[in-house]
Every structure is written in C-alpha cells, then in structure tokens.
Amino acid sequence: MGIEDGAVAHRDALLESIGAGALRFPKIESFPDEAVVRLVGSAGVVVGRTSMNVTNPDGTDFTAASRYIHVFAHDGQWRLHSAQGTAIRAEAGAE
C-alpha cells in the first residue's frame, strides 16, 4: 500500500498496516492556525494542511505536504468518518 500514489486506502487495511508497523509516520507536522472548522448539524468538517515523513511497507521513504479534509460525525462522541488528502506540489524551480 503506497499512500502517495493516489489509491484509496481502505480503513481496515490502513489500520492493519499501521498496527503491524509496516506503514510508519516518523514525523507529522500540522498547522492548526491554518485549520478551518465548520459545524453542520451533528457533523464537523476540518480543512487544513500537514507535512509528514512516511515509510511505506516496502521500506521506501518519502516526505509529503498536503491539504486535507476530514469529516467527523457526532453520536455522543466525535468520530472520523472520512479523510481526503491532496498533495501540495513544490512550485517549478523551487527547492
């Protein structure tokens, strides 16, 4: 499961891979001052930005910056129901 290739990461497979230590996130940086939170009834939508270092199950490493949207539902407690990340590509010529 390479999460940088745009494939859908199904919940159970993702949790199993993380739990087994095959998929690791050695560093995750969030930017809470940039996050936008919207409440709609018993749902919450969070839009934000993150930067992370990832080690894939095959041992390859990569760094990714992304914008994300997380959708939570409240049924006595908040639970994450959906997450989507979109890579932020470096501008041409930027290093």
In this structure, CATH architecture of domain 3-87:
Roll (3.10)
Beta-bridge partners for 7: none
- The Cα 63–Cα 67 span in angstroms is 14
Longest dimension (CA), the chain: 49
Q: Where does the pLDDT of residue 1 fall: very low under 50, low under 70, confident under 90, or very high at 90 and above?
A: very low
- The Cα 17–Cα 55 span in angstroms is 11
SS3 32: helix
SS3 34: helix
Q: Where does the pLDDT of residue 59 fall: very low under 50, low under 70, confident under 90, or very high at 90 and above?
A: confident
Q: What is the mean pLDDT of residues 16-27?
A: 88
Q: Where does the pLDDT of residue 93 fall: very low under 50, low under 70, confident under 90, or very high at 90 and above?
A: low
DSSP single-letter state for residue 92: T
